[in-house]
Chain A
């Protein structure tokens, strides 16, 4: 489906991509990881037809640079940093929907599922939205059309746990019909979302590995935590994950989305000295 064939990119004298060979099939969920300057963003921009390069990039045999409109109609993209667009939210949705030939209502519905009601903010400038709101809207635009390739750069970074859970559900709905390329600095941010990991370093693929994708994108974990003494910081963190206080801040109960388990454990690790018991059980939904 996606093929990078000896793709190289040089900026002045710096070789940022150095002969990348990569084949990605339909239905694969690929984590593109690597440190800053490894070449992740450049590779994505080559895939989107935004950079000129040596070698060939094709999606179903078509080059994004040569057949932009046709190829990009099948790609949904969520950037890491939301662009500073001054246009109103309604205008952005209209523009994207108009270009992609999709119904704007589909984008509005997806945004609502992610917890973003467009109605009150339709005339607000995009740049004036909060980080989370921008991210939700960009995800809704990317998923609100029949994209067969989803390219996402740290897509869940600004989302709250509830929105992340719904985001994972949305990805699960596309798992069979779309190919996903998810870029991140750290594997643990995206490990539960993917079934393949590609690591870039100095513009080269240094790791290309399949991973067990036993974690269901829609799976949930029942979680119960006991703490030694009430701690306001922990209480605040658990409340953000929508945990219920079962008594005096000593017993907490809630649910964690399956793909979010590492992130959740990362949060709890900051309070490890306070936690006397932690139990997580997978549930069928």
Chain B
């Protein structure tokens, strides 16, 4: 356990000094600042008002940015370190492969989750100072959703890094994963469905399997689940499973995907050549 924490600490310190982390923190801090600056808490759109409006916009933007950011920075860092000879040296030290791999994931998880969470906490603090009502239930669920999102894409990123032997291939594969998930979002599925090329059941199944869509539906499910807001697949899913059931699924399913991907990545990492 000590070795795992040493490795996690090492990854955190390395990340804190990396430029990607500074940009990453700046982006999410900047989003919250801009949303306040543009008076989003005072506007009302589709039933969202006050801090709820800000939080739902924030989570939507996070869903667009976080996955690709986490995927690319993870594979760049892990595959890049391997290519540059960092693994050759650090793995010559007496650290077990499980402590190394899971320590790296732990450190990286904290580094990617804490800035997005801190930005949300900052939004809540500003709201409290300004006397805006804080929707605590929503804040709690979105925090859990962000945590699940980080697990999901970090796990996928670690799997891609374990499979790909070079930074270029790893980056390309990570981008392809993100693009595929994006292509199967509800809005794209709607277009395909309109053309009658796939059965509605298939579209719903694809939407259920796509973690990006799962996050989107779950984020919006806290509000009035209208077709115009949710999109067709999400609407059917919510109608079928109920809001609470779907919200639980939206936390459990991506976490499971991330864990399975990370576990598979670990097995591949342990089985193959390390540097």
Contacts and interface: CB of A to CB of B under 8 A. Distances in A.
B135 interface: no
A79 B127 CA distance: 54
B275 A50 contact: yes
A69 B89 contact: no
Interface in B7-28: 9-10, 13-14, 17-18
A88 B13 contact: yes
Given A50-B92, A99-B6, A125 B86 contact: no
Interface in A46-70: 48-52, 68-70
B18 A99 contact: no
Interface centre among B3, B88, B91, B272 (most CB of A within 10 A): B88
Interface residues of A, number: 32
Interface in B77-123: 84-97
A123 B211 CA distance: 41
B271 interface: yes
A51 B84 contact: no
A86 B275 contact: no
B93 A50 contact: no
Interface in A82-100: 82-88, 91, 95-96, 98-100
Given A51-B273, A86-B14, A69 B88 contact: no
Given A69-B3, A95-B10, A81 B93 contact: no
Nearest to A88: B13
Contact of B86 (A69, A85, A100): A85
B94 A70 contact: yes
A84 B275 CA distance: 14
Contacts of B9: 95
Contacts of B96: 68-69
Interface centre among A51, A52, A72, A87 (most CB of B within 10 A): A87
A190 B272 CA distance: 33
Contacts of B89: 77, 79, 82-83, 85, 138
B252 interface: no
Contact of B271 (A52, A69, A71, A91): A52
A91 B6 contact: no
Contacts of A175: none
A255 B271 CA distance: 51
Nearest to B89: A83
A193 B71 CA distance: 47
Given A51-B274, A95-B10, A84 B85 contact: yes
Given A68-B94, A91-B10, A52 B272 contact: yes
Interface string A21-58: 00000000000000000000000010011111000000
B93 A72 contact: yes
Interface in A72-118: 72-73, 75, 77, 79, 81-88, 91, 95-96, 98-100
A191 B119 CA distance: 60
Contacts of B274: 49-51
28 contacts: A45-B88, A49-B274, A50-B91, A51-B273, A68-B95, A68-B96, A69-B3, A69-B96, A77-B89, A79-B88, A79-B89, A82-B89, A83-B84, A83-B85, A83-B89, A84-B86, A86-B14, A86-B17, A87-B10, A87-B14, A87-B17, A91-B13, A96-B93, A98-B3, A99-B3, A99-B6, A99-B93, A100-B94
Given A51-B274, A99-B6, 20 more contacts: A48-B92, A50-B273, A69-B95, A72-B92, A77-B92, A81-B85, A82-B89, A83-B84, A83-B85, A83-B86, A83-B89, A83-B90, A85-B89, A87-B10, A88-B13, A96-B93, A98-B6, A99-B3, A99-B94, A100-B93
Interface of A: 45, 48-52, 68-73, 75, 77, 79, 81-88, 91, 95-96, 98-100, 125, 138, 151
